[in-house]
Structure formats: structure tokens, C-alpha cells
A and B are shown apart, each in its own frame.
Chain A
Amino acid sequence: MSATSTIPVRVSEIEPVAESIKRVRLERPDGRPLPPFSPGAHVVVSMNDGGRIRRNPYSLMSEPDDRGYYAISVLRAEKSRGGSAFIHDVLKAGDELTISHPVNLFPADKRGRKHILIAGGIGITPFIAMMAGFARDNVPFELHYAMRSRAHGAYWRDLVASYGAHRIKPYFSAEYQVLPVATLLENQPLGTHVYVCGPDRLTDCVLDAARNTGWPAANVHTERFLAPAGGKPFDVELIRSGITVHVGEHESILEAVEAAGIDAPCLCRGGACGQCETSVIACDGQLLHHDVYLSDDEKAGGRKIMICVSRFEGTRLSLDL
């Protein structure tokens, strides 16, 4: 979905917390409170990297009830030239950024009787806010946290100190310790939920083990981020209006058409209502349908596009507008 409303923030603190991991604290420049958020939520951070806008999602790891600031942790991605390198190498206290409102695609199930959290490396971040929530509500939980080494792992000492060794179990691969996924998932009481966040290998391993031990799918949760709005820029020829508009990386066709002063019908702006359906007159390339309105056949047919959410990759697109 495009057009997420944004919040301006200022970096009030940025500090290394482990090998290749920095913690960033964000506050509103006007001092007003930030929205409260639910544990497991993330924000999309927009950074202006020398004129290029980079957008990356990061889980919120501050206290969900503290509206004074948000905190995120950023791992420098190997070989990154993108957002994480910018945060590690360029970003400093006092810099301004914009963030989306919090979005939660990894919420804890409120009816869960017990929660098992499985983290690998930087995948710890969403669990920090989740554990704060469980502790506040007095709900049983365990964290199993795999890291490369004591130096590479972030926050594990603090977590053991806050929640106790009976609830927080670190595993260091440098010391040949293995997170025992299969045994963990066996024999859990009814109403237990498991959450995994980390490298794909770990996620797949948890999903397999859960399937093999007969866990209901609804009790197994993996982290998801909002699909980044936008994509590659392209041009669209509007046949009836007789002009060509440029659709930027972070805008929809609808927004580009509106910016050109052309009134296109629309309602939901989220690919559901059908109002913005537009006929495709010529298409040299591929339509990227992101709506839930057109049927699969219509999408495959390539004669219609919902311009509030869908995009195009290729050399030429002409629309009946």
C-alpha cells in the first residue's frame, strides 16, 4: 500500500551495542509523544543518502508504553551499500529522518497461554518489546537466542539480568552450542505459541519441526515486514490526456497522474474497491499487479491495471486515461 503517513524524527543517540550492530534512538524534533505501538511492530525508516532515498524496515525494541522515543537496532549487512551501511557509516546524533507509523505483521497472539521465542542474531529485536509486554501482563515465556559469539550477540546479558536464566537461554555457535529446536517444540502444553525471527535457515528449521510435531499452523509465527511500497521508476503514456508522466520509485501511478493535474477515479487507494481500474492500451513489458480486485484471469490477460497499487517494468506502457 502506498502513501503511508509519515512521522518526522531526530536521532537522539546512536551507539554500537555489539559487533556490527548499532542501536539508534529516535525522538520527535518537536518533543511531542510518538504513537504507542504493539510489541512485534516495525517502522519503515526513510533515509536521505546523498539524494537517494533508502527505505528499510526495522523492528521497534523500545518500551511499547514509552511514547518519548523509539529504539531500533541495525546490523550492518555484509557487503551492504544500502541503508544499513548508511546508518553505520554516515548517520549521527542530531540527524533527521522520517519513519512510517508502526505496522505490526508479527504480533503476539493475545490468547496464548505460553510463548516460546526463537531468535537468531539480529532477529532478537522484535522480541525485546514482546518480552516487555509478556512480563507486564504476567504471561509465561521463554527466549531461545542463537548468536555467533558472545561479542556478536546484542543485549543477551541485559536480558538474562532482567528476566532470569530460567527464561532467557543464549546459545553461542563459536562455543559449539546448538539451539535444540526439535526438542523445544515437543511436549509443549496446549495453547503455546512459537515465534521465530532470524536467518532463513533458522526459520525453516522451526517451521519444519513444528510441522513434524503436529503444531497447529495458527500457533506458529514468523516475522514479516510490510512489502516495500514502490519499485523501479517508469514512464506511463496517458492516451486521452495526451501526456506522459513519470512514476517515481516511491509513488503510485495514481499519485503521479494526480500530480500531473489529471483527475482519475479512485476510492480506497488500496487495490480493493475497483474504482481506479484502467484499460491498458499498449504494454511492452510486465504489469506488476498488487491489487486484490482483479481476478487471476484478468491479471494474466494484461488488459487492465489498478493504478492505485500496481506497477510496471519494461519499456512502454500506455493507458486509457
Chain B
Amino acid sequence: MAIMFRQETFRDDFTYRNSPANIHRFPFPFDRDEYAYSVNIEPHVPGRKGTIYESLIDVDEHYVAEMADRALVLKEDPLRYQALPHMMQAQWDVLELLMEQQAAGYPEHFSLTRNGDRWRWINRPLGIDDTFTFGARETLPYEPLEYIGRQTQGDLCIVDQRDNNLWMDAGLVTTQADWSLDFDVGMNFMEWHGPVPLAHGMGIFDRALKFLLNLQLGQPVRRFNWTMTVNPRLDTSPENYHKWGRDRTTVTPVNVGRKVHLRVELQTLWRLPRSNAMLFVIRCYLMSMEELVTVPKWARRFHRVLKTLPQELVDYKGMTRYRDTTVEWLSRHDDGAPTSPGIWPD
């Protein structure tokens, strides 16, 4: 079924909304009433129809608007795309993977035809019909990662594997929760995770790294991360902190429902065939508190998660200024009834 793409903005007048159907397929990340860091990695296998797992690279009603926002960010700040020279082959791997997955999942919107190295890619929602030579940079208007990144929801990092570590050697990052590719590029797994509180001491990054070094072709994995954002803004980057940082002081008991958003990242990791590098997709989903409380189970559970969240995490996630106001507002939607297991609505 064709997706109805919304016309909306992630800045200025913030017209972003979720349709009721999209709320129901929102990846609510909490399977219990409290949250702690863990090595929450599982096989990324296709899931039920009507969920975000239906296709391994999910495309939804926000696709067109998100791509327009990404183009604006890149225009203002070209350094959001960076790739070290040895990552060119991995870039082609990523282009192939994302074209194949999107064409397989949404044949009415995307198609890929290959004739040897001559490939034709049609992206109907964005009005693109390009023929190029796979492996020949000059036959595309951008480098392969930037080209396909401008046509894929979610930030993309390509990490190289060397010396029993992973290195962030390429990326296209415009929808990030307050971290910077320009700062992290060239760093290894432990270095770029440096700012995260508690998790290092819990051994989480040691285990996660060992697991990832063994990631196999054809067996992608996924995990959730989450935070909160005031206003449905995709680009909450350190580079633009001056534009969004003060939003955090604007939350009042009256506007919480509309302004405060749960921000969930569905992160998927894929071994790449030709380069042996790894693709890390960080797909961001936003849902306002008003939208969230339309699902009673989520309202109860998120209230409890937020209320009991350790202060270190509240501070690290940048929610210190508005957490209490949000908990107070959510408490009106929590009758204390028990919540069912799992993440899906009842």
C-alpha cells in the first residue's frame, strides 16, 4: 500500500505530527516500568505487518519531509557528511544495501534495476530517476554515502574494523541527539562512547564491542536508544546548540503535551560485504506526549520510567530542566494499573 507522505517541518513552525496509524507503529522502547542501560542487542529480523519491523529499513509518512530537512542541514553545514578516503568501498556497500532494502520493502516507491555495473535507481517520492555505474564515483552527483543518505531516513555511520576495535571513519549525521560527527570522526568505539555515564563501569561497552566484532554478514542486529526533545526537532546537534538549547527552558505545565517529545532511535548494525566494514543506522522517531498518552499502556509505563530514571541519565540526556514538569503531567494519565509485558499497545 502506498504511504501518504506528510508535508511538515522539523524547525520554525514545527508542523510535524504523527497520524493515528503511525502512533500505533511507533517503536515504544520500554518493555518494563523502569529503565537501565543494558546490552539490548537482538537479531534484526523482519516482524509483523503494520510494525516498524515489517521492512528492515523502515520508510514511513515522514520520509519526504525528513529528506527536505536533511538537505537544509547539509546546505548550512557540509561537515555533517564526512568520509575518510579508505572508506570508499564501504560507501558503495552501503549504497547497495539501502537501495536493495528500500526497493524490496517498498516496490511502489523505489526500484533498482541492474545491468552489470550499470544501475538504474528510481525514487518516486523524491522524483529521482538516475542511472549510474556502480563503483564509479563520477557517475553520481555526490559520494555514494551522501547520495543514498539524502534518500534514507536515519543517520548513517560507517565504522571500519581494525585492531579489535571499531572506528568511526565515515558518516552522514543530521538528526543526532547532541553528538557531533565532526568531533567523533576517526575515533574508536570506546572513545566516542566516552561521555556516556554509568555504562562503562557496568561493562556494557566491553561486551557490546566484543559482540559487534563478530557481527556476521546476513545477520544484522538492532537495539533501541532513547532520549527526549523539546519541539519535534531532528537536528539537535552540538553545532546548532544555540538554536535549540534554550527550548528546554520553555516547557510549562500547559504546553508539555505538545512540546515535549519522546525521541526513540532504532539502531541497526549491518556487516558490509565488500569492505568488511559495518553500517550503523540511527533511525530517529519522535512522538509528542499528547500522542503518547493516546496509548494507555504507554502513558502509564512512560510515566513510571521517567519518574524513576537515575539522575545521571536525566542529566546526560539533557532533561534536567523539564523532567519534573513532564512527570507531573504524565501522572494524570497513570492510574497505577499494572502494565502488560512487551512493548506493543494492548
Q: Which of A100, A110, A273, A274 counts the most B-chain CB atoms under 10 A from its CB?
A: A110
Chain B residues with Cβ below 8 Å from A271 are 211
B134 (CB) vs chain A CBs: closest residue: A65
Question: A273 near B40 (CB under 8 angstroms)?
Answer: yes
Chain B residues with Cβ below 8 Å from A1 are 214, 216
Chain A residues bordering chain B, tally (CB within 8 A): 31
Of the residues B93, B160, B214, B221, contact of A110 by C-beta under 8 Å: B160
Distance (Å) between the CB of A130 and the closest chain B CB? 12
Question: A293 near B273 (CB under 8 angstroms)?
Answer: no
Q: A101-B217, A292-B211 are in contact. Are A272 and B276 (CB under 8 A)?
A: no
Question: A111 near B86 (CB under 8 angstroms)?
Answer: yes
Chain A residues with Cβ below 8 Å from B218 are 5, 35, 101
Question: B40 near A267 (CB under 8 angstroms)?
Answer: yes
Question: A268 near B221 (CB under 8 angstroms)?
Answer: yes
Of the residues B42, B86, B87, B273, contact of A35 by C-beta under 8 Å: B273
Interface membership of A41, Cβ < 8 A: yes
Interface membership of B200, Cβ < 8 A: no
Q: A110-B86, A110-B160 are in contact. Are A267 and B275 (CB under 8 A)?
A: no
Distance (Å) between the CB of A298 and the closest chain B CB? 12
User: Total A-B residue pairs with C-beta atoms closer than 8 Å?
Assistant: 82
Question: A102 near B217 (CB under 8 angstroms)?
Answer: yes
Residues B135-182 near A (CB distance < 8 A): 160-163
Q: A102-B273, A103-B216, A107-B276 are in contact. Are A268 and B41 (CB under 8 A)?
A: yes
Question: A104 near B42 (CB under 8 angstroms)?
Answer: no
Chain A residues with Cβ below 8 Å from B161 are 107
Chain A residues with Cβ below 8 Å from B40 are 267, 273
Interface membership of B208, Cβ < 8 A: yes
Binary CB contact string for chain B from 316 to 332 against chain A (1 if under 8 A, 0 otherwise) = 00000000000000000
Question: A37 near B274 (CB under 8 angstroms)?
Answer: yes
A270 vs B42: C-alpha distance in the bound complex, in angstroms? 9
A40 vs B161: C-alpha distance in the bound complex, in angstroms? 14
Chain A residues with Cβ below 8 Å from B219 are 4-5, 101
Binary CB contact string for chain A from 36 to 72 against chain B (1 if under 8 A, 0 otherwise) = 1110110000000000000000000000110000000
Q: A4-B216, A110-B160, A292-B210 are in contact. Are A268 and B274 (CB under 8 A)?
A: no
Question: A110 near B43 (CB under 8 angstroms)?
Answer: no
Chain B residues bordering chain A, tally (CB within 8 A): 29
Question: A274 near B211 (CB under 8 angstroms)?
Answer: no
A102 vs B211: C-alpha distance in the bound complex, in angstroms? 17
Question: A292 near B207 (CB under 8 angstroms)?
Answer: yes
Distance (Å) between the CB of B43 and the closest chain A CB? 6
Interface membership of B190, Cβ < 8 A: no
Q: A35-B217, A37-B273 are in contact. Are A269 and B43 (CB under 8 A)?
A: yes
Chain B residues with Cβ below 8 Å from A40 are 276
Chain B residues with Cβ below 8 Å from A37 are 217, 273-274
Of the residues B39, B160, B162, B273, contact of A273 by C-beta under 8 Å: B39
Binary CB contact string for chain A from 123 to 149 against chain B (1 if under 8 A, 0 otherwise) = 000000000000000000000000000
A269 vs B221: C-alpha distance in the bound complex, in angstroms? 10
A268 vs B222: C-alpha distance in the bound complex, in angstroms? 9
Residues B260-293 near A (CB distance < 8 A): 273-276
Chain A residues with Cβ below 8 Å from B216 are 1, 4-5, 100-101, 103
A104 vs B206: C-alpha distance in the bound complex, in angstroms? 21
Interface membership of A235, Cβ < 8 A: no
Distance (Å) between the CB of B217 and the closest chain A CB? 4
Interface membership of B38, Cβ < 8 A: yes
Question: B273 near A36 (CB under 8 angstroms)?
Answer: yes
Question: B276 near A268 (CB under 8 angstroms)?
Answer: no
Chain B residues with Cβ below 8 Å from A41 are 276
Q: A1-B214, A109-B162, A293-B207 are in contact. Are A274 and B38 (CB under 8 A)?
A: yes
Distance (Å) between the CB of A232 and the closest chain B CB? 22
Question: B210 near A218 (CB under 8 angstroms)?
Answer: no
Binary CB contact string for chain A from 238 to 265 against chain B (1 if under 8 A, 0 otherwise) = 0000000000000000000000000000
Question: A292 near B42 (CB under 8 angstroms)?
Answer: no
B96 (CB) vs chain A CBs: closest residue: A36
Chain B residues with Cβ below 8 Å from A64 are 274
Chain A residues with Cβ below 8 Å from B210 are 272, 292
Question: A36 near B274 (CB under 8 angstroms)?
Answer: yes
Q: Which of A35, A109, A111 counts the most B-chain CB atoms under 10 A from its CB?
A: A111
Question: B217 near A273 (CB under 8 angstroms)?
Answer: no
A4 (CB) vs chain B CBs: closest residue: B216
Residues A93-127 near B (CB distance < 8 A): 100-104, 107, 109-111
Distance (Å) between the CB of A242 and the closest chain B CB? 25
A1 vs B276: C-alpha distance in the bound complex, in angstroms? 18
B273 (CB) vs chain A CBs: closest residue: A36
Chain B residues with Cβ below 8 Å from A38 are 273-276
Chain A residues with Cβ below 8 Å from B39 are 268, 272-274, 293
Question: A292 near B206 (CB under 8 angstroms)?
Answer: yes
Chain B residues with Cβ below 8 Å from A65 are 274
Chain B residues with Cβ below 8 Å from A274 are 38-39
Distance (Å) between the CB of B109 and the closest chain A CB? 24
Distance (Å) between the CB of A106 and the closest chain B CB? 10
Question: A273 near B276 (CB under 8 angstroms)?
Answer: no
Could you list 20 A-B pairs, sorted by A, with CB under 8 Å? A1-B216, A36-B274, A38-B275, A38-B276, A40-B276, A101-B217, A101-B219, A103-B216, A107-B161, A110-B87, A111-B162, A218-B162, A267-B40, A267-B41, A268-B211, A269-B43, A272-B207, A273-B41, A274-B38, A292-B211
**Leading 3 A-B pairs by shortest Cβ distance:** A272-B211, A110-B86, A38-B276
Other than the given A35-B217, A101-B218, A218-B163, 11 more pairs (CB < 8 A) read: A5-B219, A36-B93, A36-B273, A37-B273, A101-B216, A272-B208, A273-B38, A274-B38, A274-B39, A292-B211, A293-B39
Residues of A that sit less than 8 Å from B by CB: 1, 4-5, 35-38, 40-41, 64-65, 100-104, 107, 109-111, 218, 267-274, 292-293
Residues of B that sit less than 8 Å from A by CB: 38-43, 86-87, 89, 93, 160-163, 206-208, 210-211, 214, 216-219, 221, 273-276
